[in-house]
Amino acid sequence: MLSKHKRQALIFLLVAAFTAGCGSDPNAASPAETEPVPPASSTPPASAAPQTAPAFDISKYSFPAAVDPGKHHLFYLHGKIIEDQGLPAASPDLGEYEYKAILEKLGSYGFVVISEQRVKNTDGMEYAQRIAGQVSALLTAGVPAKNITIVGASKGAGITIFASHLLENEEINYVIMAICDPGTVAELKRNEMSLHGNVLSIYDASDELAGSCQELFSFSEGKGISKHDEIVLHVGTGHGILFKPLDEWIIPVIQWAGKP
């Protein structure tokens, strides 16, 4: 159990690092997560019928009512922009966060994909405890730890780090995308938040908000981390890699999860 001091420090970390997109001003929104300016309204022709996009039914990705121990299970924790805007969510610089397409792409590889839309200003540690409880339920139901993968993007990656620390399981797979900047890593180390299990870091070389997790990997050596690796992409969109189901990160995730 975390002490009150450590919990307060970690909550501050989430507010500063993930609300501001790891920027210098903790009260300013990052370029990737700024509320987009609505386009100027225009009046459609009288004969034009309004076009309404079908609603995204996120409930199909809820934690399963009946667990199949023979299936590979994958949790996907989205970026903070969806907390801030709801669905659909879009950045003026990076476009729409293609949440539905990401879940569908991951599911196409045969995973039981588990994901939910977090509410605004979600407490990262409390949510990590929720995820840890769901993972424990899978383990109790007979799902092998090696067949469980947690994938997090930006703030979702921060929550994934917390879940890894809480679960203390050396066989579960984790993918943390676009999370490690020097300030965030320093705060995690100060609060002794070591990683456990098999951890893959992915980020784009042009990302101004996140970088290498090697320092966090080194800090976690001998404390429960089993294996780790890091992939630096050169897509060129920085934090924008998180917004789309790009093969550049989807395929490594599938491979890291050990899906045949």
Domain with 247 in it: 4-22+70-256
User: What is the torsional sign of CA 257, 225, 201, 194?
Assistant: positive
**Cα distance between residue 21 and residue 17, in whole Å:** 6
Residue 38 located in a structural domain: no
**Cα distance between residue 256 and residue 163, in whole Å:** 18
Q: State the pLDDT at residue 237.
A: 97
Weakly modelled stretches of the chain, pLDDT under 50: 1, 4-5, 7-9, 11-12, 14-52
Residue 61 located in a structural domain: no
Are 132 and 145 in contact by the 8 Å Cβ rule? The answer is no
Q: State the pLDDT at residue 52.
A: 45
Amino acid at 162: F
Q: State the pLDDT at residue 259.
A: 76
Residue 234 located in a structural domain: yes
Q: State the pLDDT at residue 228.
A: 98
Residue 226 located in a structural domain: yes
Q: State the pLDDT at residue 97.
A: 98
Q: How many domains does the chain have?
A: 1
Q: State the pLDDT at residue 56.
A: 84
Residue 50 located in a structural domain: no
Per residue in 104-133, pLDDT tens?
999 999 999 999 999 999 999 999 999 999
Residue 44 located in a structural domain: no
**Cα distance between residue 114 and residue 40, in whole Å:** 37
Per residue in 228-257, pLDDT tens?
999 999 999 999 999 999 999 999 999 999
Are 82 and 99 in contact by the 8 Å Cβ rule? The answer is yes
Q: What is the pTM of this model?
A: 0.82
Locus of tokens 């990302």:
207
Q: State the pLDDT at residue 55.
A: 66
Domain containing 82 — which CATH number?
A: 3.40.50.1820
Q: State the pLDDT at residue 14.
A: 47
Tokens standing for residue 101 = 């397409």
Are 181 and 214 in contact by the 8 Å Cβ rule? The answer is no
Please, which residues have CB within 8 angstroms of residue 197's CB and are 6 or more apart in sequence? Answer: 145, 164, 167, 169, 170, 171, 172, 173, 174, 224, 225, 226
Q: State the pLDDT at residue 89.
A: 97
